[in-house]
Amino acid sequence: MTLNVNRTKAIEDQFGMWVRCHDGSLLATGALQGSTITIWDTKTGEEKFRLNAPDFLHDPEFSQSGNVFAAVGESGVHFWETKTGQKGDILKIDGQQTYGFGNLRISGKGERVIYTRSLFLNLQVFSQFYGWELDGLRKISSFEIPVRSQKSMRIVLSPNEELYCLWSPESAVLEIGSFSSNNLRHTALRGVAKLVEFMPDGKHIWILGELEEGQRQAIQIWNIEQEGLREVYIDLPPFFPFELRELGDYRKGWSKDEKIIKYGPPYHDGFVSPDGKLLALLSPCWDNKPRHQIDLFKIRDLKALFRLQLDFQTRDIQFSPSGTHLITERGNDLLPGASPPFPLLFATRSWIQEDDEDILAIPPAYQDLLRGIHGHTITFGDRFNGPLFVRLDEGMKTMTA
């Protein structure tokens, strides 16, 4: 399916930025440093609305349900209702005149918008958190999430977006708060956190921590409802057997980090399957070029299931909604003459039973056009025709347009 785009305008002026809603049915596109956002129906390829603001827009985002769309402008945060295209109140912070790069989070049905403002260009580290409560297209109140630490803080929201957790990679303490009360809880960790996320059930938090001795990592899972109850604490091995440890002289030529030389690269990202049973941890791997590898575990006992070696660096890895497949995008690395064809969609549970068989392979002609995936929809870029969307039926081994 291709979008019915305006062929008289440069594609870059229409698709300099885009974001899909959670179920993939709507697509928002716009030019970089533009003031107009187009909402597309991805099932028909037809333009649904054009949303206009008085200034440049950036950091676009849909609510979980897709009924609200918002973007940051120079004068404030603008939001629209996607069923009618009607524009809501401009959301502003008292005393602030301009709004720079940051990040937006919108609650499931659009009742709450949270804007995290960064003092740095690293959009993963934020120092100020603001929000607004909405009633339809009207703002009914505003709030600020207090930050009591002098350290650069990060924020994660629970699946129902009623709870939030503030944490810092420089601190061994988590702050867990609620939007509906003033209760604030502190949880002390062993070591420091490298990654903090809510579990899919919204009742637990899992932490990828780096231990004080700096040579090991650990997974901690905390029960939010029972304060102070740590249900799981498991030391990770000193990373999986690292096939390049024998190449110490090669590594020492460009790395002064004896810990990495000895133990291999640490995990730096991770994600949990929708059913909360599987944990995937991502780490870099080097030989002739940078690439990534994924280790898959059973989350309750961290029993290692398998390692997935990627021949590329990736920017986005996630589980499919059912949790039965692992999907990723290629990133920017070119793979000329790749053989076998570039694998995109990998099975998890079923892969173990199918003798490492890839579930899907992208034809070589499409590899350099791959832009990203969301759920079962893969996006390919086309500089002449705009984005091309390919939908997958889970478990199939061929692409269907």
- pLDDT tens digit sequence for 354-380: 233 333 444 444 545 555 544 445 555
Structure confidence at residue 15 as a pLDDT band (50, 70, 90): low
Nearest to 154 by CA among 179, 171, 142, 132: 171
Q: pLDDT tens across 289-344, in order?
A: 566 777 878 887 777 776 666 655 655 566 755 666 565 544 333 333 332 233 33
pTM of the entire structure? 0.64
| Predicted local distance difference test score (pLDDT) of residue 86 | 92
- Does residue 2 surpass a pLDDT of 50? no
Nearest to 117 by CA among 131, 136, 134, 135: 131
CA distance 310 to 66: 33
- Does residue 275 surpass a pLDDT of 70? yes
CB 349 within 8 A of CB 363: no
CA distance 326 to 374: 12
Least confident of 178-182, 231-235, 386-390: 386-390
CA distance 21 to 321: 14
| Percent of the chain with pLDDT strictly greater than 70 | 54
| Predicted local distance difference test score (pLDDT) of residue 378 | 52
| Predicted local distance difference test score (pLDDT) of residue 87 | 92
Nearest to 89 by CA among 152, 132, 25: 132
Structure confidence at residue 387 as a pLDDT band (50, 70, 90): very low
- Does residue 124 surpass a pLDDT of 60? no
Return the top range by mean pLDDT from 105-109, 160-164, 305-309, 391-395: 160-164
Mean pLDDT of 7-33: 67
| Predicted local distance difference test score (pLDDT) of residue 317 | 64
Token representation of residue 143: 């709030």
- Does residue 245 surpass a pLDDT of 70? no
DSSP element (H, E) containing 352: helix 349-353
* CATH classification number, 146-236, choose in 2.40.128.650, 3.50.50.60, 3.40.50.1100, 3.40.50.1170: 2.40.128.650
| Predicted local distance difference test score (pLDDT) of residue 362 | 45
| Predicted local distance difference test score (pLDDT) of residue 196 | 92
Q: Which segments of 21-127 are extended strands (E)? A: 26-30, 36-41, 46-52, 57-62, 68-73, 76-81, 102-106, 112-117
**HSE, side-chain direction, 13 A CA sphere, residue 9:** 12
Least confident of 20-24, 105-109, 223-227, 316-320: 316-320
Least confident of 74-78, 80-84, 241-245, 275-279: 241-245
* Per-domain boundaries in the chain: 1-137, 146-236
CB 103 within 8 A of CB 117: no
Mean residue pLDDT of the chain comes to 68
Mean pLDDT of 86-95: 84
CA distance 2 to 386: 7
| Predicted local distance difference test score (pLDDT) of residue 252 | 45
| Predicted local distance difference test score (pLDDT) of residue 386 | 45
Structure confidence at residue 123 as a pLDDT band (50, 70, 90): very low
Q: Which fold has domain 1-137?
A: Methylamine Dehydrogenase; Chain H (2.130.10)
Peptide bond into 340 cis (omega under 30): yes
Structure confidence at residue 92 as a pLDDT band (50, 70, 90): confident
Q: pLDDT tens across 132-165, in order?
A: 888 888 999 888 887 776 677 788 888 877 888 8
Return the top range by mean pLDDT from 28-32, 204-208, 335-339, 377-381: 204-208
> Which residue has better confidence, 41 or 198?
198
| Percent of the chain with pLDDT strictly greater than 90 | 3
Nearest 10 degrees: Cα torsion 121, 125, 126, 131 = 110
